[in-house]
Structure 1
Amino acid sequence: MKKNTHLDYKQVLFVDSSTGYKFVCGSTYQSDKTEVFEGQEYPVCYVSVSSSSHPFFTGSKRLVDAEGRVDKFLKRYSNVKPAQPVQVAEEPVAKGKKKPSLKKKK
């Protein structure tokens, strides 16, 4: 078995950037920034949405300051022009000629 393949599992301080809510959870997240929380120093991970700010858990329809995926999509493709339909020229059919039959003759 290879040595030193797994990351260190340690306690990390997660901070909700929209509400300021802080909680400690075990994680392999690595950070250079640290903060003191409840008398101990932890590496910090800033998250945009947590259980304190997500509408499903809060029961409210409060807007989160982070841009959503739909907004990014609309912003990116709002200036794109719709594609023009391609016009196909029809070939004139010669009158009086019959198409060959596909049936087998006996």
Structure 2
Amino acid sequence: MTRTSGISEPPGLYAISATAELSGFTIGTLRLYEQYGLITPTRTKGGARRYSDADLTRLGRITELIADGINLVGIRRVLELEESTAALRRDNRRLSEDNTQLRTERKASSS
């Protein structure tokens, strides 16, 4: 949804209790995952945690990895590698687009 100014509404932000209910994890588990660096909720000015839709997606991925028998340290590493891979794919796609554009410009200038 967009505002009349054309700026997108921010994604949903959830309190820790709502996040626990939505994710199926306990509040204590969410705090533990934060300590392990698996999730990093934003904080309000008063210090309360706020979880985003992206955090909920990440918690879903954590659930899958736990089901696969991976411990928390391993999960952190898997998530780091997945993020690195995604960043490299974005960079590769951008470079490929740049390369295509340069080839097109080179072809046009040599004609």
**In which range does the TM-score fall when normalised by the shorter chain?**
under 0.3
As a proportion of its length, which structure holds more strand?
1
In terms of Rg, which structure is larger?
Answer: 1
Q: Give the TM-score normalised by the residue count of structure 2.
A: 0.26
